[in-house]
Amino acid sequence: MSGTTRRVFLSAGESSGDLHGGAVVPRLVERLDGVEIEALGGPRIASAGARVRFPMEEYTAFGMVEVLGKIPRHLKLLRILDREFASGRFDLALLIDYPGFHIRVAESAARHGVKVLYYVAPQLWAWRPQRAARFAAAVDRMAVVLPFEPAFFERHGLPAEYVGHPLLDRPPLPGRAAARAALGLPAEGRVLGLFPGSRLQEVIRLWGPFRDAARRLLAEGQCSAVVVAGTAGGEYPGAEGFTIHRGSPEPVFAAADAALAKSGTTTLEAALADLPMVVAYRVHPLTSWLARRLITVPWISLVNLVAEAPVVEEFVQEQVAPAGLAAAIVPLFDQGSAEHRAQRAGLQVVRDRLGGGGAARRVASIAAELLE
C-alpha cells in the first residue's frame, strides 16, 4: 500500500497489550508504506518503532484506590484524543484489550469518522453479552484471539476475525531435560508445577491451597519435586524445599509433569505445552457473588471454553482446598490412567482449534483493509 501517508493511533494500556502491540508495529510498517504510528504504550511498542506519546506506566494502576487515582489522567487523555480525532490527525485507531478505557476511545474515534480496529476482544461472551451492542456501534472490525469469538460478535452485528492467539507466535519451549537442568530439578521423577498467578490478589488467594496440596503430594510420594512459576517480587511463604523460578514461566511448563494453575491465559499456555493440569479460580466473595449472577458460560477455564468440553477439572471459590486439589492431580501423573489419557486428548483438541501463529501479521492486514 503506497501513496498518501497514513497515521495510526495504537493504544495498549497494560503490559500484555504492550507485548502484543510490539509484535504488530513491525508488521504495520511492512504492510503500510510510510505509515506513522503514535501510541499509548510501553517499552515493547517503543522499541518496535512506534512513537510513544503517552507512556503506559503513567496510566496503568493495580488496586482499586490506585485505579481511582488514575481516572483524571485517563479523562485528560480522552479529551486530547477527541480533539485529534476531530482534527483528522489519525486515519485509524488500533486498540488492544483494556476495554474500560478503549470503548470510550473507540466511541470518540467513530464519532469523528476514524476507523477503529479492536485487537484482543473483551470477554463479553462471559459477562453481560448485551454490552456487545455498544462495541458494535463504535468498532469497525474486531481481531479476536479465541476461535469461538467470531460467531459471538457477528451475532451482535460486529465483524470479527479469528487471527490466532499471540501465544502461538512464541518460540518453542525448551526440552524437558534442558528445562529441568536449568531449574536445578532432578532429571527423573515426577515434577509438580504451581502457577498461582502474577497479580498480587491471585497469589494471596491461591498460594496457600496450592502450597499445601503440593506438600500432601510430596508426603504421599506422588511427586518428587515442586517448581513454582513465581514473579520477581512475589512472596511465597512456606515454600521451603520448593524451587521458585522468578523468570519467564516457559521452563516450568516444559519441566513439569502436571500442574496446579490459576484460570486465565496460563491454562492455554499449559495446553500448548501439553501439560495436564487442574485449574483453580478464587476471588473476593462479593466478586464471586456478582459473577454467579452475571456469568453466561459453563466453564471458567479457557481450555474448556475452547474445547467446548470439560477437559480440565475446575475448582472454584470454597472448592479450592488442598485435599481436593491434590486428589485431582494424582491421576494426571499416571500416563496410563483414564484421566490422564482423556485430558491429553482434550488438550490436543484445544491445540487443533487454536491453529497456527501469525496473529500480528493478520492484524496488520485487517488494518490495511480498513485504511484502503
pLDDT for position 126: 61
Q: For the chain, give every residue range classified as CATH 3.40.50.2000.
A: 7-164+357-371, 176-354
Report the amino acid identity of residue 180.
Answer: R
Q: How far is CA 39 from CA 118, 188, 276, 365, in A?
A: 14, 48, 39, 19
CATH class name, domain 7-164+357-371: alpha beta
Mean pLDDT of 7-19: 94
pLDDT for position 69: 62
What is the share, in percent, of the chain residues with pLDDT greater than 90?
80
Pick the CATH number of 176-354 from 3.40.50.720, 3.40.50.20, 3.20.20.70, 3.40.50.2000: 3.40.50.2000
**pLDDT of 105 strictly over 70:** yes
Mean pLDDT of 54-72: 68
**pLDDT of 170 strictly over 80:** yes
pLDDT tens-digit readout, 238-261: 999 999 999 999 999 999 999 999
- Beta carbons of 101 and 127 less than 8 angstroms apart: no
Helix (H, G, I), strand (E, B) or coil at 197: coil
**pLDDT of 62 strictly over 80:** no
Mean pLDDT of 39-64: 86
Residue ranges with strand state E in the chain: 7-12, 36-41, 51-55, 92-96, 115-119, 141-144, 160-162, 191-195, 225-229, 243-245, 258-262, 277-281, 313-316
pLDDT tens-digit readout, 191-225: 999 999 988 888 999 999 999 999 999 999 999 99
Q: Whole-number mean pLDDT of the chain?
A: 92
